[in-house]
Amino acid sequence: MEQQVKKYEIGFLVREESEVDEIKNALAAAKAEVVSEGRLKKIRLSYPIKKETVAHFGYYWFMLDTQAVKEMDAKLRLNTKVLRHIIIAEPLELNNEERVAGVRGEKTEKPRERSAEKPATKKPADFDAVDNAVLEKTLEDILK
């Protein structure tokens, strides 16, 4: 199986500042290459998580094989010191045309080419061409 290394971001919540080492150890054990890290910040949680109302939030950008990410994710789920974590892959770069089409909700397929000829319009067989004078006389007779 071919290894595919991608760039990922992990966002996490831990109880204490010292518990960030759990995330660092998990990245080191998976042999991830840390590209950048965000500053750890103490936040008030919107709702209690594992009976905690305050936590420390942080994130890391790292490069790692896709299979190793799955294994690291499974290990972090079992770690009781990590309140929550999420791992997301970096989005693919789109060219400007694809990005605009995606925002508008359009498909990025090219439109089909139309032929230069216009289709001939068909007249119903039941209707014959009527002269305006005959039509006027018929309308006058009806309205009398």
Per-residue pLDDT tens over the stretch 21-79: 999 999 999 999 999 999 999 999 999 999 999 999 999 999 999 899 999 999 999 99
Per-residue pLDDT tens over the stretch 12-34: 999 999 999 999 999 999 999 99
Task: List CB contacts of 109: < 8 A, sequence separation 6 or more.
Answer: none
125 Rama sector, left if φ>0, alpha if ψ -120 to 50, beta otherwise: alpha
The pLDDT of residue 14 is 95
Question: Is the pLDDT score of 1 beyond 60?
Answer: no
| Cut 0.75: pTM above it | no
Q: What is the DSSP letter of 15?
A: S
The pLDDT of residue 94 is 58
The pLDDT of residue 144 is 81
Please identify, in words, the CATH class of the domain defined by 5-89: alpha beta
Q: If pLDDT is split at 50, 70 and 90, which confidence band does 133 have?
A: confident
Which among 67, 55, 57 is positioned nearest to 8, based on CA atoms?
Answer: 67
The pLDDT of residue 31 is 93
Task: List CB contacts of 117: < 8 A, sequence separation 6 or more.
Answer: none
For the chain, percent of residues with pLDDT exceeding 90: 56
The pLDDT of residue 128 is 60
Q: What is the mean pLDDT of the chain?
A: 83
In angstroms, rounded to a whole number, what is the distance separating the alpha carbons of residues 59 and 10?
5
Give the mean pLDDT of 102-115: 59
Give the mean pLDDT of 76-85: 94
